[in-house]
């Protein structure tokens, strides 16, 4: 442990000062460090030697650079990446809070409302990343961080960086190294080279299943048995483990867990929309995705308008009900002609709008 820390400090140079190891396992060893110039805490993740040995440093850094371009409120950004000998590392901001894995460990099952909110944030991040051509490939509780009431997805692009730059002959060995068989889509577990964004949606289903049922779709199996189950076995309905799960949410979770990608929701935006419908009261809109405000339609030709005694200006507050008003003025040639005011108007007539 001390040897790895010393080597990492040497690779980081004077830009970062390592404070302590936070833990890790599977994909990486994790260290808390301070960025000296800006005085902020960061997290440095190092690939374990047995995984880094077969990785091309050049291709790894190239994939990390692509992922570093992602800028989204629910994505933990990658700040930099580097290598020194067989040491491969990447740096991210330190997020105050806890991992979703930690919350599951002490709560086991989460409230339905919290589950919907967390999955919504995760799918929001996935929809953005998929739109930029980046598939996560390793969505799991360890890679979801909770800060306040928000969930952030971390390690975007890292699994792709490792898988595209390793010389592993089969995905099975890589999957064990990543420690993600419980969340792997069947096509990933089978070693399909054409895995696409729908594999992330399978992982969302596995994630949601665990948040609601207190256990992933398949458990108590060896890594090899877990991969086989992902390909061939059908998970129990989530309602079998928790009967109170709303039918719409249960149906969405089980659809995401479909064996064939074509039977799952076809994109993260679709899943996001269904989750937002569950989280939003009828007729209301979620503050993070406000509906566009539309100006009221102009009155129809036969509609009666209230007359105004004059066209003298009055304070804007007199017409604050609508951003655009259709008003009448007795001083016009007909005395009843509608007059459109731009929004916001400098002043309003003394009487406005439909009677």
Spatial distance between the Cα atoms of 314 and 328, rounded to a whole number of angstroms: 14
Residues 271, 184: one domain? Answer: yes
Hey, which residues are catalytic here?
138
Residue 268 lies in a domain: yes
113 and 205 share one domain: yes
Distances (CA, A) of 53 to 57, 67, 165, 181: 10, 22, 11, 22
How far, in whole angstroms, is CA 327 from its chain's centroid?
46
Phi, psi angles (nearest 5°) of residue 273: -60, -40
The residues, any chain, with a CB within 8 Å of residue 125's CB and separated by 6 or more, are: 72, 74, 75, 152, 153, 156
- Residue 307 domain-assigned (yes or no): no
In a domain, 303, yes or no: no
258 shares a domain with 340: no
Domain end residue (candidates: 233, 263, 279)? 279
Q: Are residues 85 and 205 in the same domain?
A: yes
Residue 296 within a domain: no
Judgement on whether residues 206 and 323 belong to the same structural domain of the protein: no
Q: Please answer whether residues 67 and 60 qualify as being in contact, where contact means their C-beta atoms are separated by less than 8 angstroms.
A: no
pLDDT at 341 over 50: no
Q: In angstroms, how far apart are the furthest CA atoms of the chain? A: 90
Q: How confident is the model at residue 234 (pLDDT cuts 50, 70, 90)?
A: very high
Whole-number average pLDDT of the chain: 77
Residue for token pair 């490939």 = 137
**Average pLDDT of the residues in 303-313:** 39
In this predicted structure, what is the pLDDT of residue 26? 57
Domain limits for position 327: 313-349
Cα 189–chain centre separation = 23
Do the domain assignments include residue 302?
no
Same domain for 17 and 65, yes or no, is yes
**Residue positions counted in the chain:** 355
Q: Average pLDDT of 263-292?
A: 74
* 197-206, 218-227, 327-336: segment of lowest average pLDDT: 327-336
Q: Which of 10-14, 127-131, 203-207, 265-269 bottoms out in mean pLDDT, i.e. has the lowest?
A: 10-14
- 292 in a structural domain: no
Residue keyed to tokens 């507050």: 317
Three state DSSP letters for the chain: CHHHHHHHHHHHCCCEEEEEEEEEECCEEEEEEEECCCCEEEEEEECCHHHHCCECHHHHHHHHHHHHCCCCCCECCCCEEEEECCEEEEEEECCCCEEHHHHHHHHCCCCHHHHHHHHHHHHHHHHHHHHCCCCCCCCCHHHEEEECCEEEECCCCHHHHHHHHECCCCHHHHHHHHCCHHHCCHHHHCCCCCCCCHHHHHHHHHHHHHHHHCCCCCCCCCHHHHHHHHHHCCCCCHHHHCCCCCHHHHHHHHHHCCCCHHHCCCCHHHHHHHHHHHHCCCCCCCCCCCCCCCCCCCCCCCCCECCCCCCCEECHHHHCCCCCEEECCCCCCCCCCCEEECCCCCCEECCECEC
Average pLDDT over residues 254-260: 97
Domains contained in the chain, number: 2
Q: What is the pLDDT of residues 161-204, one digit of tens each?
A: 676 655 444 333 444 444 488 999 999 898 888 889 999 999 99
Residue 78: pLDDT above 50? yes
Cα distances (angstroms) measured from residue 16 to each of 32, 69, 88? 10, 22, 15
Q: Using an 8 Å Cβ cutoff, are 100 and 126 in contact?
A: no
CATH number at residue 219: 1.10.510.10
Q: Count CB atoms within 10 A of the CB of residue 26.
A: 15
Residue 183 structure tokens:
């969340």
Q: In terms of domains, do 59 and 147 share one?
A: yes
* Residue that is last in its domain, among 226, 260, 279: 279
Give the pair of three-digit tokens for residue 147. Answer: 């800060």
Final residue before a domain boundary, out of 255, 279, 303? 279
* CA 188/CA 174 separation, integer angstroms: 10
Summarize the confidence of residues 13-36 as an average pLDDT. Answer: 84
- Banded pLDDT at 50 (limits 50, 70, 90): low
Residues 6+ apart with CB under 8 A from 297: none
- Same-domain check for residues 99 and 192: yes
Is residue 287 in some structural domain? Answer: no
Query: Does 28 share its domain with 159?
Result: yes
- Does residue 317 share a domain with residue 257? no
CA distance 93 to 35: 10
User: Do the domain assignments include residue 40?
Assistant: yes
Residues 146 and 20 in one domain: yes
**pLDDT at residue 35 tops 50:** yes
Whether 96 and 143 share a structural domain:
yes
């Amino acid at each position: 442990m001390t040897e790895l820390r010393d080597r990492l400090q040497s690779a980081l140079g004077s830009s970062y000062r390592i404070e302590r190891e936070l833990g890790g396992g599977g994909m990486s060893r994790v260290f808390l460090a301070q960025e000296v110039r800006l005085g902020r805490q960061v997290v440095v993740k190092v690939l374990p030697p047995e995984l880094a040995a077969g990785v091309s440093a050049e291709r790894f850094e190239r994939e990390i650079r692509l992922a570093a371009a992602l800028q989204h409120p629910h994505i933990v950004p990658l700040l930099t990446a580097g290598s020194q000998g067989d040491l491969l590392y990447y740096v991210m901001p330190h997020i105050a809070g806890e991992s979703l894995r930690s919350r599951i460990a002490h709560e086991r099952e989460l409230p339905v409302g919290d589950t919907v909110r967390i999955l919504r944030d995760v799918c929001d991040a996935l929809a953005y990343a998929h739109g930029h051509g980046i598939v996560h490939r390793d969505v799991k509780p360890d890679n979801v961080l909770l800060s306040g009431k928000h969930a952030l997805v971390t390690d975007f692009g890292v699994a792709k960086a490792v898988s595209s730059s390793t010389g592993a002959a089969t995905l099975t060995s890589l999957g064990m190294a990543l420690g993600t068989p419980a969340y792997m889509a069947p096509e990933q577990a089978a070693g399909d080279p054409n895995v696409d964004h729908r594999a992330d949606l399978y992982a969302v289903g596995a994630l949601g299943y665990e948040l609601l049922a207190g256990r992933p779709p398949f458990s108590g199996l060896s890594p090899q048995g877990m991969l086989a189950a992902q390909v061939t076995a059908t998970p129990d309905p989530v309602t079998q483990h928790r009967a109170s799960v709303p039918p719409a949410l249960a149906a969405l979770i089980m659809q995401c867990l479909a064996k064939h990608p074509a039977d799952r929701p076809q994109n993260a935006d679709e899943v996001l929309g269904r989750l937002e419908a569950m989280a939003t009261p009828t007729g209301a809109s979620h503050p993070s995705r406000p509906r566009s405000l539309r100006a009221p339609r102009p009155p129809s030709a036969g509609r009666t308008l209230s007359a105004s005694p004059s066209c003298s200006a009055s304070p804007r507050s007199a017409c604050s009900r609508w951003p655009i008003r259709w008003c009448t003025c007795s001083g016009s040639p007909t005395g009843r002609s509608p007059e459109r005011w731009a929004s916001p108007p400098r002043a309003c007539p003394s009487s406005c709008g439909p009677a």
